[in-house]
Amino acid sequence: MSTEHETYAHERETTEGPVFTVTGGDWDEVIEEAAGNERIVMNLGPQHPSTHGVLRLVLELEGETVTQGRTVIGYLHTGIEKNVEYRNWTQGVTFVTRMDYLAPLFNEAAYCMSVEKLLGITVPQRAQTARVLLMEINRIGSHLVALATGGMELGALTGMTAGFREREEVLHLLEHLTGLRMNHAYIRPGGLAQDLPADTVQKVREFTKLMHKRLPDYDKLLTGQPIWRNRMAGVGVLPVDACLALGITGPILRSAGLAWDLRKTEPYLGYENYEFEVPTSTDADCFARYLLRLEEIHQSLRIIEQAVDRLEPGPVMVEDAKIAWPAQLTIGADGMGNSLEHVRKIMGQSMESLIHHFKLVTEGFAVPAGQVYVPVESPRGELGYHVVSDGGTRPMRVHVREPSFVNLQSMPPMSEGGMVADVIAAVASIDPVMGGCDR
């Protein structure tokens, strides 16, 4: 390979072999095109406090007006989808929970529901109710971050501190219920990793009581605040036909007037038995999306209160010993490994059961060949898992329809023709999470 040729990157030899330094790319071409006229090309990000993570925006400006906007993604690429192919079906949960790190339990639930659909099994009722409970708590935490970071980017710093204060309550509760603040790997194929703690109902009721008390503060602090309203009303408008053309879902679509929520339109995990509303607006702007997220927190609290009332005693994992793992887990004093009593029990029962446990943990269970698509309503919209099995103990392919990735397409139509400052409001109202977008 000739290093002099302009189409190739320059290389240098290291102890590990040749290293290529790639520079320029389309950025250089954009600059050349803009040279000599009144256009300015601005690179916003990828390290920027207003880009919701490692997102790069290339904006062409005439004065303060954005004439063209482009999103550049891939800076946070983790290869999670590919990694899942090299782990057994249960271990895959540990990867997918790290995609959208503000909504880990939604990724776990959608992935596990797709595995369960391939297996043709139904999880116990208590596990289904617990999944709904955990996801709605998680939805509140995600929306609070959307409000907090949006407030920070638009200069409402008290909105930011209030949002993160309440989100901390969410994380405390999730840590108490699952053992971790985030990246839980608590929802597993066949049910849950372990049962909820004995004081779950009490802790959840304390949380809902606190949230009902704190939520009106957001209306006092932001909703009725004229600066906040003027900063967002009429900004980042995306009508319903544009949303449908781009495949936009979640609060952005509902802010344009379409009451599309998978919990209502294609219910799963018994959502059809819960009473809640799907808030909508026809304003289709940043302020409408803010109001919808705030109202969705109220609706999630309604669902949570119904879920705790339905938490009937019972198993949280399927009975099939060829799938259920870990079986009757009790955690050690360090909160990490199995307790000594549990180890003695497994080792003392029989050599066959010990071998079976070892094979189940190391190899995993086989899943019948086939492919499924299972969507759930995440805080950002339709989160769908297309999972393909070749009949082995590992997935052949796991592809995710990630709402942050799809919804980012709405940035240019929201922003072009508006001011540079309004791009910040538009991106904040999209609420993208780059871990999910790049995966």
Q: Give 358-391 pLDDT, tens digit per residue.
A: 777 788 888 999 999 999 999 999 999 999 999 9
The Cα 18–Cα 246 span in angstroms is: 41
DSSP 228-257: HHHHHTTSS---HHHHHHHT--THHHHHTT
pLDDT bucket at 194, cuts 50 / 70 / 90: confident
Name, in order, each residue with C-beta under 8 angstroms of 322's C-beta and a sequence gap of 6 or more: 360, 365
pLDDT of residue 279: 92
Q: For helices 286-309 and 125-153, what crossing angle results, to 10°?
A: 150
Tell me the C-alpha to C-alpha distance, in Å, between residue 318 and each of 49, 175, 326.
Answer: 45, 24, 11
For tokens 């839980």, what's the residue?
184
| Mean pLDDT value of segment 295-318 | 91
Establish how many alpha carbons lie within 13 A of residue 408's alpha carbon, considering only the half-sphere containing its beta carbon: 23
Of 182, 177, 185, the residue nearest 111 (C-alpha): 185
Superfamily assignment of 88-325+364-438 in CATH? Cytochrome-c3 Hydrogenase, chain B (1.10.645.10)
Q: Give 111-142 pLDDT, tens digit per residue.
A: 999 999 999 989 999 999 999 999 999 999 99
Q: Where are the domains of the chain?
A: 10-72, 88-325+364-438
pLDDT bucket at 1, cuts 50 / 70 / 90: very low
Of 86, 109, 29, 60, the residue nearest 384 (C-alpha): 109
The Cα 211–Cα 204 span in angstroms is: 11
